Amino acid sequence: MRLRWLALAGVLLMSVGVFSACSTQEEKFRNTSVDFRAQPGNVVDMIKAYVRAERAAPVPAGPLPLRTISAEELARGQGEATVYRLGHSTVLMRLDGEYVLTDPVFSERASPVQWMGPKRFHPLPLELEALPRIKAVVISHDHYDHLDKASVLALDSKVERFITPLKVGNHLRRWGIASDKIVELDWWQSVSVGSLKFTATPAQHFSGRGLTDRDETLWASWAIESHEARIFFSGDSGYFSGFKEIGERFGSFDLTLIETGAYNHLWSQIHMLPEQSVQAHLDLRGKAMLPIHNSTFDLALHDWYEPLERAAIAAEKFGVRLATPIIGAPLNVRTPAETLAWWREEMLREPAQLATSQ
């Protein structure tokens, strides 16, 4: 019970903006389809759900399979567009010979403090010192499991540009990142860094890192284009019509990195269920889908392996090519090799079968 309460406290700290007071001030950012506001009754329901939840496997029973990435491997490159999933929503990609990093979180906990909050299930597949020069770090929004101060500061000397939604750059400037390294974009605005083009696209979520800054910074998904490939990075989002519009505007994506985890029917407006994640991929006209935002932190009420299992079932039903490499394994963007459902072997260690009631 104590661990459950600590987990709840950590999640509330990480996404405290959900419970902050509603504001009608003009400077607040808004979603296009819904205005997600947790009323007192919703908060009570969420707390009750955490207290009453009976989960077979909130965290893995043993070490997860992981592939170590060396500095030599990254310096050598793979020769073609390649992505490495480093954990949660942190993805390292090599495009046109340059490296791009999304939502870097290298700390032990996704939390404002490192003595409490969601703790990672697995070690990092590489040391920060092993990272090469990074052409751009792309940030989706300012929640603690996507924007980590310690990681940003540790990466600063390696990064040419930090690309963020509007006003997220204010956090970086307060931390000491030089203003000329920061680019802030509104939805549908673009910036090119070398041969790479980054477009901020809509998402259905919210923002805030404290009790008083709800929705003062923008959240976004991202279209990343290079000569070699086109990649979509969802950040965090509920399912909405914006995915179809993005797909129509861009035509198709070689690979979609889609949020698939930390969901529940109580907050499905801002975090997709796995079946919705697969539908978002179809709306985006993606060729292959890599589920992210899972298998690193315990941020909801489902078992740790449920997001991947449910996504795999939905992908098979709709003929979607699902890429599920183990953490640290390279994935060719244009021609992703078949990957195994590695979590199913881990499920055999768990005391009960998959629960899909959330």
Where exactly are the structural domains of the chain? 2-21+37-347
Q: Which amino acid is at 277?
A: S
Q: Is the domain covering 2-21+37-347 a CATH 3.20.20.70 domain?
A: no
CA 289 to each of CA 205, 240, 245, 323: distance values in angstroms, whole numbers, following the listed order = 21, 18, 18, 6
* E strand residue ranges, 158-297: 159-165, 182-185, 190-193, 196-201, 221-225, 230-233, 255-259, 289-292
Helices marked H in the chain? 2-14, 40-52, 71-76, 149-155, 169-174, 242-250, 274-283, 306-318, 342-347
Mean pLDDT by 10 residues, the chain (358 residues): 48 42 59 69 59 82 96 90 98 98 97 93 95 98 98 98 98 98 98 98 96 94 98 98 98 98 94 98 98 97 96 98 98 93 87 46
Residues 6+ away with beta carbon under 8 Å from 173: 179, 182
The predicted structure's pLDDT at residue 258: 98
pLDDT of residue 356: 43
How many CA atoms, within 13 angstroms, populate the side-chain half-sphere of residue 232?
A: 35
Terminal Cα distance for the chain, rounded: 20
SS3 content of the chain, % helix, strand, coil (to 5): 30, 20, 55
With vertex at residue 166, the alpha carbon angle to CA 164 and CA 170, rounded to the nearest 5 degrees, is 80
pLDDT at 45: 61
The whole model's pTM is what? 0.91
- In this prediction, residue 346 carries a pLDDT of 87
* Per-residue pLDDT, 79: 81
State residue 1's pLDDT score: 46
3-class SS of residue 309? helix
The answer to whether 297 and 303 are in contact (CB under 8 A) is: no
pLDDT, residue 16, reads 42
d(CA 211, CA 16): 6
Per DSSP bridges, beta strands 98-102 and 134-138 are: parallel
Helix (H) or strand (E) holding 134: strand 134-138
Rounded CA gap, 237 and 352, in Å?
30
